[in-house]
Amino acid sequence: MIDTDIVVIGAGPTGLFTVFEAGLLGMRCHLVDSLTKPGGQCAEIYPNKPIYDIPAYPEIMAGELIDKLLEQIKPFSPGYTLGETAEKLSKSEGKFLITTDKNTQISAKVIAIAGGLGNFEPRKPVIDDLNKFEDNGVQYSIVDPKKFQGKNVVISGGGDSALDWTIVLSEIANKVTLIHRRNQFRGAVDSVNKIQKLKDKNKLDIITPAILKKLNGKNKLESIDVAIDNEIINIPTDYLIPLYGLVPKMDVFKSWGLEIEKNAIKVNNSLDYQTNKEGIYAIGDINYYPGKLKLILSGFHEAAIMCHSAYQIINPGKKNILKYTTVSGISGFDGTKKEPKKTQINSFK
């Protein structure tokens, strides 16, 4: 079992910055995210789009913002449980216990829910026998691309994820076939051009417009049937990876007894972004209060307030004084020290 001060559910920009604010106050964090990489919406939905409203950055790519946040929190050595969804909540002896869908258990006095739109679940194809083949040839995300070495893979979808993984796997798998129900792809033009070039070099196959019709196999996936116009063709394959995007869900947090309003977790914004359950905070896109702005900078601000409140729960009776980092410097848990610099004050004589 993992023991920490604050379990942060969600490794989007808000969750990542929480690690920094908690670290300044000497509190350790463990991040849990259903996705296999940190960054939330910025990394998953729009890594290559520029953002123009991050203070002090006139322009920054969403993916670069996440890289910078990861660099900023490195001294505070957070724990990571990625590719797992925080599912169950219990409490005993003054501590919360979070259990993920893969049975990882994390205990802490405080929970910070920075879950954005809720946990993302893959949008699945509507097709018979799908669950028979899930994790048995059919999968919705790629954790380790090396797994596909020497295998035949069909990727289904027309967005950035489908295009990006087709490009990556064309260098690794024995054969990659990209199928899509339309002739046009939705992904970046650059990726579409790359895919076309790879096809011209016989590095992959593209079949469009193709509709997934049937999964075949005895104990595991062996082939799929797709409809092209009025014809059904059979494609032998070891894997089918439908990449149709992600659907946000709030069910987990509802089941924890948290008050929900406007499909978000209701918090006390006049004080500290605590939910109706003491010790459980909700920050960033996941929370609701009158006047809420779903912006990255709101999440950063809420993380700072929340950590100062959580300090009192984690260190009862201890006084917490707000210190500027220019004065306190940074003392990382990994031994990093950033000393405050003495500034030259020019006084008038």
**Chain contacts with ligand FAD (rule: CB under 6 A):** 9-15, 32-35, 40-42, 45-46, 51, 53, 85-86, 114-120, 252, 284-285, 294-297, 299
Closer residue to ligand FAD, CB minimum distance, 221 or 265: 265
Shortest separation between residue 43's beta carbon and ligand FAD, angstroms: 8
Shortest separation between residue 313's beta carbon and ligand FAD, angstroms: 21
What sign does the CA torsion over 53, 54, 57, 62 have? negative
Contact by Cβ (8 Å): 194, 169: no
Contact by Cβ (8 Å): 145, 40: no
Closer residue to ligand FAD, CB minimum distance, 121 or 222: 121
* DSSP string across 140-206: S--S-GGGGTT-EEEEE-SSHHHHHHHHHHHTTSSEEEEE-SSSS--S-HHHHHHHHHHHHTTS-EE
**298, containing H or E segment:** helix 296-314
For ligand FAD, the nearest residue by Cβ is: 116
Closer residue to ligand FAD, CB minimum distance, 216 or 268: 268
Look at the block and give the residue holding tokens 């929900």.
260
Closer residue to ligand FAD, CB minimum distance, 43 or 210: 43
Burial pattern 287-323, b for ≥16 Cβ within 10 A else e, equals bbbeeeeeebebbbebbbbbbbbbbebbeeeeeeeee
Shortest separation between residue 52's beta carbon and ligand FAD, angstroms: 6
**333, containing H or E segment:** none
Closer residue to ligand FAD, CB minimum distance, 51 or 330: 51
Q: What are phi and psi of 211, to 5 degrees?
A: -115, 130
Closer residue to ligand FAD, CB minimum distance, 170 or 275: 275
Q: Cα(325)–Cα(303) distance, rounded to whole angstroms?
A: 16
Shortest separation between residue 229's beta carbon and ligand FAD, angstroms: 34
Shortest separation between residue 154's beta carbon and ligand FAD, angstroms: 26
Shortest separation between residue 36's beta carbon and ligand FAD, angstroms: 10
Closer residue to ligand FAD, CB minimum distance, 102 or 197: 102
What does the DSSP 8-state code read for residue 54?
B
Shortest separation between residue 59's beta carbon and ligand FAD, angstroms: 10
